[in-house]
Homo-oligomer: A and B are copies of this chain.
């Protein structure tokens, strides 16, 4: 049995969904010297080939990362491998993984998390300078939050693959005699898995699927985004070292770096040896992957997240909360709200009725107050991961809506070259659906005035059903309307956060209690982590033998 208390706690948290975290999210909870050591470790990687992977067969070295903070290339190169060779090595590694018990796999993967834990700060700087997140978000997202979600997937998979007993003696009474059989049950991994990462959350989005696969007996080829390889490479190295340390085959996980010029994802995805695909990224390629015949595919694609403001107890608190949600990492979280629906007749703020235009202008003011705050603004906004997002924001005034808060350049202390701007806020009416019904990834938000709250609800539901939605914010003090809204949104399988203010935001999804993506609308077909997220990765085989 497993001696690690983390797994037992994680299993308990899975079922009870109460607050649980194996890794504290505050950098201050870790030894003080780790930050400078982490920075030094990160800097050691720069302008060098990345040599920590335990993988043979390098074809050549390539790398194209640049920091959105310094706008300079990181200069790190990664080994590029032949796709066929990666697959053959994964096929060999599959036997080694199959021979490990569920307990042993769990134990090794917890070691891998502990390896990562020792490198949280190095991961943080690596994430900051590839995704463009602030240091704080990079620490939390790629460190403790990733590790907790990976542990959640590990615990889910452990529960799933030990669901049936390994063996039972089965006896069927037949009157005078009994039939006696020994029956065995075994969870067998479906085969080689491919994980395709994204540039904004390079470890958080990939590790749950990778941990689920390794627990279920599926070796993984991890194809990171060419713009955010380093965090994946460090995490991959932590996993490989844990398997090697246990005397097992480190190639159960292989990193497969590629370049924009010579992408590897589709070559691997359509290969007959790939049975499972985990993907985070744009909807079009996600849809292509979902349509590949005979594969088990888990996707998180684009979504249009909405907020409906109907009645509140304290509008200022609400708008401050929403302003932070809009600014956080410049709207580049998949959970960031984009559309703010406000009934044209206005919003009840306690006893007072606030006209829609005033709500819009006060939201603009709240955003401006945050971005103008030199202590809070730049760090909250962080940078844009790439120029396409910059161009999208710059082009927002041409969408046909009124600009009520224009975007502006903003200077990041210590990083004068950073690709950083303030959000643009638009205002339009419900009939201009073409403007707000698809995802405008990045720091672009839209206040939409609707005839009434029911029209807003109708639009949010329709957009979620058609274009997908990962989260939805609802502000109402009317219990009947809240119920009605939840019932409507249920038809589009959208998760709703009601009346959030203060230190909790619609963007945040916590391990062990928040299911991330429902799998029921076009934003994705999978959930971190429900039982489906692990059960689809393996096959139950049952054999019988006469006794």
A-side residues, CB < 8 A to B, are 15-19, 160, 163-165, 168-174, 177, 179, 181, 183, 185-186, 188, 190, 290-291, 293, 486, 490, 493-504, 510, 513-515, 518-520, 527, 530-532, 535-536, 539-546
B165 lies within 8 A of A16 (CB): yes
Find A539's partner among B17, B174, B518 (CB 8 Å cutoff).
B518
B543 lies within 8 A of A17 (CB): no
A544 lies within 8 A of B185 (CB): no
- Write the chain B residue with the least CB distance to A25: B172
Task: Give the docked Cα–Cα distance between A185 and B498 (Å).
Answer: 14
Please list 8 pairs of residues, one from A and one from B, whose beta carbons are closer than 8 Å in the complex, sorted by A's number: A18-B169, A19-B171, A172-B510, A183-B513, A493-B539, A496-B544, A518-B540, A518-B541
Contacts A493-B541, A531-B535, A541-B518 given: A546-B172 contact, CB under 8 Å?
Answer: no
Q: Most B CB atoms within 10 A — which of A169, A498, A540?
A: A540
Find A493's partner among B16, B185, B188, B502 (CB 8 Å cutoff).
B188
- Write the chain B residue with the least CB distance to A547: B499
A179 lies within 8 A of B498 (CB): no
A532 lies within 8 A of B535 (CB): yes
Find A543's partner among B168, B293, B495, B542 (CB 8 Å cutoff).
B495
B174 lies within 8 A of A503 (CB): yes
B486 lies within 8 A of A543 (CB): yes
Which residues of B lie under 8 Å from residue A539 when comparing CB positions? Answer: 493, 518-520
Find A498's partner among B188, B502, B515, B544 (CB 8 Å cutoff).
B544
Contacts A16-B165, A17-B183, A541-B490 given: A546-B170 contact, CB under 8 Å?
Answer: no
User: How far apart are A460's CB and chain B's nearest CB, in angstroms?
Assistant: 14
Contacts A495-B541, A504-B179, A504-B181 given: A18-B546 contact, CB under 8 Å?
Answer: no
- Write the chain B residue with the least CB distance to A175: B26
Contacts A183-B17, A188-B520, A531-B160 given: A546-B499 contact, CB under 8 Å?
Answer: yes
Task: Give the docked Cα–Cα distance between A355 and B106 (Å).
Answer: 49
Task: Give the docked Cα–Cα distance between A183 and B509 (Å).
Answer: 12
B168 lies within 8 A of A17 (CB): yes
Which residues of B lie under 8 Å from residue A170 when comparing CB positions? Answer: 17-19, 513
Task: Give the docked Cα–Cα distance between A56 and B406 (Å).
Answer: 59
B495 lies within 8 A of A542 (CB): yes
A546 lies within 8 A of B503 (CB): no
Task: Give the docked Cα–Cα distance between A490 and B379 (Å).
Answer: 53
User: How far apart are A470's CB and chain B's nearest CB, in angstroms?
Assistant: 12
Find A546's partner among B168, B501, B530 (CB 8 Å cutoff).
B501
B546 lies within 8 A of A500 (CB): yes
- Write the chain B residue with the least CB distance to A21: B172
Which residues of B lie under 8 Å from residue A531 when comparing CB positions? Answer: 160, 163, 531, 535
Which residues of B lie under 8 Å from residue A179 when comparing CB positions? Answer: 502-504
Task: Give the docked Cα–Cα distance between A269 and B169 (Å).
Answer: 42
Known: A188-B493, A527-B540. 9 other contacts (CB 8 A): A17-B183, A168-B513, A179-B502, A185-B515, A290-B293, A495-B541, A496-B544, A514-B542, A536-B536
Task: Give the docked Cα–Cα distance between A514 and B514 (Å).
Answer: 35
User: How far apart are A20's CB and chain B's nearest CB, in angstroms?
Assistant: 10
Task: Give the docked Cα–Cα distance between A532 and B216 (Å).
Answer: 14
Q: Most B CB atoms within 10 A — which of A169, A170, A190?
A: A170
A498 lies within 8 A of B536 (CB): no
Which residues of B lie under 8 Å from residue A186 when comparing CB positions? Answer: 490
Task: Give the docked Cα–Cα distance between A293 and B500 (Å).
Answer: 37
Task: Give the docked Cα–Cα distance between A496 and B182 (Å).
Answer: 12
Which residues of B lie under 8 Å from residue A498 when comparing CB positions? Answer: 543-546
B183 lies within 8 A of A545 (CB): no
Task: Give the docked Cα–Cα distance between A539 and B530 (Å).
Answer: 9
Contacts A164-B17, A172-B510, A539-B518 given: A497-B544 contact, CB under 8 Å?
Answer: yes
Task: Give the docked Cα–Cα distance between A527 and B499 (Å).
Answer: 42
